């Protein structure tokens, strides 16, 4: 029996068929209107990290709430201690209920002179290979991806008058600046967001023709370390040899963080690491990842991580320690012959399943303090942290979503990991037991966070069609909790 011949109950007294092909045709026929709406959202410069754009973030939230209301959602803008969130519900009395998460905020556009055009005046750019790019800040991260889901819901409503299952929407405006208001908002309103599974579209295709579900995200711990030696900058002729140099001290401390084979050398760092299950290991082996080309594309030839693991394992399934910035002394033109008083470094740890950011933070501090010279002081500043998350490989929702993707893309989807972090995934998993299905349609060359960010029109179109199919498939899952 095909999907369009199956049925789902949006009202327990009135079962209706799923006219899947009609919904897909409607989405195809209305692509220009969908692109017009995307361009409207892209024109709003909702840069979350810059207070000068606070009103534009409010404008973007209001635009989204109005669009959701227009397709039948009970939607509104909720104020937070920072930028607002948008929440919308369209429920039903039986069947599964999903939560879709996205973010409307974007990164700053600097350096502006590297953009081919105004970053908030979206353009369609035809390419020699026949593709057309939507060029604008936020085109791919995350406005274009977010709109694929809204447009899929719009198509369902236009053809059938309802959605095939219950849907809630949750859009935040601070994802690109660390989500500082998220914890308080979830304390106050999190129960309202309970669902059977969370969907999000802030991830990538495996390649241009193969869809992927990202089932692993590494966690994150961010630290700043400041080393102080003398009580002021010193003349290097007068105090050279006699005075401790904090830059040298800091350099030696940093060097102590990694072992000769690339492993993290902090005592007990790996003791809670949980290895991926065999099914996931098997899926990763099928990817035939080209490690040599991965490194060659960025001008490198040899992995610097733990040599006991492959490159793919290093960036997806193993924790890491990286130095993100270091400063101290004089680094302007010419030379200023001083021994500086202070030196500072910013250090981040990517964590995997089983590791707790607080515990790793304590081990890091202990490691540094044990190696500090007697006449130097160290100050630590925590810059945030989140746990890793792993989506269960045996989930019915995962199985059905992959079946829907296969129908649209005419190939099997793959399960992939991410070396990066999407904190909301681990937060919803730990707080509410809510697993996620991160299904994205971005390509590796979309230039996220860089000048001339783009989203392929084909990705936008296929994303809408994919979500239409996913909604139909997920409507047949068993619900495990009572919905909003």
431 has a pLDDT exceeding 80: yes
Higher pLDDT, 137 or 418: 137
Strands (E), 203-244: 212-217, 219-228, 234-235
Interval 187-246: pLDDT, tens? 999 889 999 999 999 999 999 999 999 999 999 999 999 999 999 999 999 999 999 999
Instruction: Name residue, tokens 């996913």.
Output: 470
According to the model, what pLDDT value does residue 481 have?
59
> Buried b / exposed e across 1-23, counting CB within 10 Å, b at 16+?
eebeeeebbbeeeeeeebbbeeb
Residues 483 and 291: their CA atoms lie apart, in Å, by 44
12 has a pLDDT exceeding 60: no
29 has a pLDDT exceeding 60: yes
Instruction: Show which of 386, 413, 439 is a domain's final residue.
Output: 386
Q: Same domain, yes or no, for 237 and 381?
A: yes
Cα dihedral 173, 179, 181, 184 in deg (nearest 10): 120
Range of the domain at 382: 219-273+319-386
Give kind and range of the element (H or E) at residue 304: none
Give me the CATH number covering residue 405: 3.40.630.10
Q: Same domain, yes or no, for 104 and 159?
A: yes
According to the model, what pLDDT value does residue 64 have?
98
Higher pLDDT, 167 or 12: 167
How many Cβ atoms are within 10 Å of 206's Cβ, its own excluded?
18
According to the model, what pLDDT value does residue 217 have?
92
Which residue pairs from 179-186 have beta carbons closer than 8 angstroms and sit at least 24 positions apart in sequence? 179/423, 179/424, 180/81, 180/82, 181/80, 181/81, 181/82, 181/83, 181/85, 182/423, 182/424, 182/427, 183/427, 184/80, 184/81, 185/78, 185/80, 185/85, 186/427, 186/431
Share of the chain above pLDDT 90, in %: 83
Instruction: For residues 18-29, give the mean pLDDT.
Output: 95
According to the model, what pLDDT value does residue 4 have?
31
Higher pLDDT, 421 or 358: 358
Instruction: Show which of 386, 401, 419 is a domain's final residue.
Output: 386
According to the model, what pLDDT value does residue 81 have?
95
Q: Same domain, yes or no, for 15 and 150?
A: yes
pTM confidence score: 0.85
- Greatest extent of the chain over all pairs of C-alpha atoms, in Å: 90
Peptide bond into 142 cis (omega under 30): yes
Q: Same domain, yes or no, for 340 and 376?
A: yes
According to the model, what pLDDT value does residue 94 have?
74
According to the model, what pLDDT value does residue 288 have?
87
1 has a pLDDT exceeding 50: no
Instruction: For residues 430-456, give the mean pLDDT.
Output: 94
DSSP annotation of 456 reads E
Instruction: Show which of 335, 356, 386 is a domain's final residue.
Output: 386
> Would you report the helix, strand and coil content of the chain in percent, each value rounded to 5?
35, 25, 40
Interval 334-365: pLDDT, tens? 999 999 999 999 999 999 999 999 999 999 99
């Amino acid at each position: 029996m095909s999907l369009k011949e199956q049925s789902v109950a949006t009202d327990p007294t009135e079962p209706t068929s799923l006219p899947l092909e009609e919904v897909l045709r409607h989405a195809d026929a209305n692509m220009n209107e969908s692109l017009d709406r995307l361009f409207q959202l892209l024109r709003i410069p909702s840069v979350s990290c810059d207070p000068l754009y606070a009103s534009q973030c409010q404008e973007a939230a209001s635009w989204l709430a109005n669009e959701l209301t227009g397709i039948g959602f009970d939607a509104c803008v909720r104020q937070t201690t920072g930028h607002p969130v948008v929440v919308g519900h369209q429920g039903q009395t039986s069947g599964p209920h999903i939560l879709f998460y996205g973010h409307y905020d974007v990164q700053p556009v600097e350096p502006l002179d590297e953009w081919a055009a105004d970053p908030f005046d979206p353009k369609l750019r035809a390419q020699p290979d026949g593709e057309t790019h939507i060029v604008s800040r936020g085109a791919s991260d995350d406005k274009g991806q977010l709109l694929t889901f809204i447009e899929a819901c719009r198509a369902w409503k236009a053809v059938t008058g309802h959605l095939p299952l219950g849907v809630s929407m949750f859009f935040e405006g601070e994802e690109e600046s660390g989500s500082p208001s998220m914890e308080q908002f979830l304390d106050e309103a999190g129960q309202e967001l309970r669902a059977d599974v969370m969907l999000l579209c802030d991830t990538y295709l495996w390649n241009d023709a193969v869809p992927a579900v990202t089932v692993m995200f590494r966690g994150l711990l961010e630290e700043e370390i400041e080393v102080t030696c003398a009580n002021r900058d010193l003349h290097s002729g007068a105090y050279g040899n006699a005075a401790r140099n904090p830059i040298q001290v800091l350099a030696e401390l940093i060097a102590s963080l990694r072992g000769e084979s690339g492993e993290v050398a902090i005592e007990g760092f790996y003791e809670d690491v949980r290895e991926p299950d065999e099914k996931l290991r098997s899926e990763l082996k099928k990817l035939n990842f080209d490690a040599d080309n991965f490194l060659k594309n960025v001008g490198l030839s040899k992995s610097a991580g733990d040599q006991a693991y492959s490159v793919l394992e290093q960036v997806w399934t193993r924790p890491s320690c990286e130095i993100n910035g270091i400063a101290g002394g004089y680094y302007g033109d010419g030379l200023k012959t001083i021994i500086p008083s202070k030196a500072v470094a910013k250090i981040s740890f990517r964590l995997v399943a089983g590791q707790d950011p607080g515990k790793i933070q304590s081990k890091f501090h202990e490691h540094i303090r044990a190696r500090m010279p007697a006449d130097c002081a160290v100050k630590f500043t925590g810059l945030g942290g989140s746990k890793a998350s792993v989506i269960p490989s045996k989930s019915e929702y995962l199985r059905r979503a992959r079946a829907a993707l296969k129908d649209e893309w005419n190939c099997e989807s793959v399960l992939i990991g991410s070396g990066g972090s999407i904190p909301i995934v681990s937060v919803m998993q730990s707080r509410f037991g809510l697993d996620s299905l991160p299904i994205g349609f971005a390509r590796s060359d979309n230039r996220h966070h860089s000048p001339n960010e783009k989203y392929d029109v084909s990705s936008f179109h296929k994303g809408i069609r994919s979500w239409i199919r996913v909604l139909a498939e997920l409507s047949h899952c068993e619900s495990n909790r009572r919905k909003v």
